[in-house]
A = this chain, B = another copy of it.
Amino acid sequence: MMGEIKTVGLLGGGVIGGGWAARCLLNGLDVVLFDPDPDAARKLEEMLQNARRAYRKLTSLAHGKEGRLKIVRTPDEAVFEADFVQESAPERADLKIELLARASRAARADIVFGSSTSGLLPSTLQSQMTNPERFVVGHPFNPVYLLPLVEIVGGNKTSKGAKELAAAFYSTLGMKPLHVRKEVDGFIADRLLEALWREALWLVNDDVATTEEVDDAIRYAAGLRWAFMGTFLIYRIAGGEAGIRHFLSQFGPALKWPWTRLVDVPELTVELLDKIEHQSDAQAGGKSIRELERLRDDCLVSILQALRGYGMAAGATLQRYEERLVAKSNPPVMSKKYELAVPLRLYEAFASSDGGNDAIEKFYAKAFDAARDAFLSYVGVDGSRGFAYFTVETHLAHRGNVEGGAQIHTTTQLRSLDGTWLHLFHSLFRSDDEALLATANQTLMHCDTYHHRACLPPPDVLRRLEEIAGAHARLPLPLDST
Stretch at the interface among A275-283, A355-363, A432-440: A275-283
- Provide the residues of chain B in CB contact with A91, threshold 8 Å: 250-251, 254
- Provide the residues of chain B in CB contact with A241, threshold 8 Å: 43
**In the complex with contacts A304-B58, A325-B62, A181-B207 CB distance below 8 A:** yes
Q: Is the CB of B275 within 8 A of A204?
A: yes
With both beta carbons as reference points, the residue of chain B lying nearest to A283 in the complex is identified as: B212
A-B pairs, top 5 by smallest CB distance, nearest first, are A215-B230, A262-B262, A223-B226, A174-B321, A149-B221
Q: Which of A150-206 contact B (CB under 8 A)?
A: 151, 171-172, 174-176, 178, 180-182, 184-186, 188-206
Stretch at the interface among A49-57, A79-87, A336-344, A459-467: A49-57
Q: Is the CB of A205 within 8 A of B454?
A: no
- Provide the residues of chain B in CB contact with A258, threshold 8 Å: 185
Task: Answer yes or no: A209 CB below 8 A from chain B CBs.
Answer: yes
Q: Is the CB of A217 within 8 A of B188?
A: yes
Q: Which of A352-404 contact B (CB under 8 A)?
A: 369-370, 373-374, 377, 383, 388-394
With both beta carbons as reference points, the residue of chain B lying nearest to A253 in the complex is identified as: B91
Q: Which of A409-434 contact B (CB under 8 A)?
A: 420
With both beta carbons as reference points, the residue of chain B lying nearest to A235 in the complex is identified as: B197
Task: Answer yes or no: A474 CB below 8 A from chain B CBs.
Answer: no
Provide a sorted-by-A list of 9 A–B residue pairs whose CB atoms are within 8 angstroms. A14-B240, A58-B304, A65-B349, A143-B300, A178-B213, A216-B230, A218-B231, A226-B226, A229-B313
Q: Is the CB of B445 within 8 A of A50?
A: no
Number of copies: 2
**In the complex with contacts A194-B260, A231-B215, A204-B304 CB distance below 8 A:** no
Task: Answer yes or no: A64 CB below 8 A from chain B CBs.
Answer: yes
Task: Answer yes or no: A94 CB below 8 A from chain B CBs.
Answer: no
Task: Answer yes or no: A293 CB below 8 A from chain B CBs.
Answer: yes
Task: Answer yes or no: A473 CB below 8 A from chain B CBs.
Answer: no
Residue from B217, B223, B250, B296 within 8 A of A228 (CB atoms) = B223
Interface-central residue, A192, A203, A307, by most chain B CB under 10 Å: A192
Task: Answer yes or no: A471 CB below 8 A from chain B CBs.
Answer: no
Q: Is the CB of A264 within 8 A of B261?
A: yes
| Chain A binding surface SS class | helix
Task: Answer yes or no: A214 CB below 8 A from chain B CBs.
Answer: yes
Q: Is the CB of B454 within 8 A of A216?
A: no
Q: Which of A303-336 contact B (CB under 8 A)?
A: 303-307, 309-310, 312-315, 317-318, 320-322, 324-326, 328-330
- Provide the residues of chain B in CB contact with A211, threshold 8 Å: 232-233, 276, 279-280, 283
Task: Answer yes or no: A2 CB below 8 A from chain B CBs.
Answer: no
- Provide the residues of chain B in CB contact with A178, threshold 8 Å: 213, 216-217, 220
**In the complex with contacts A59-B325, A189-B221, A260-B262, A175-B317 CB distance below 8 A:** yes
**In the complex with contacts A213-B188, A322-B59, A314-B228 CB distance below 8 A:** yes
- Provide the residues of chain B in CB contact with A227, threshold 8 Å: 219, 223-224, 226-227, 303, 307, 313-314
Task: Answer yes or no: A45 CB below 8 A from chain B CBs.
Answer: no
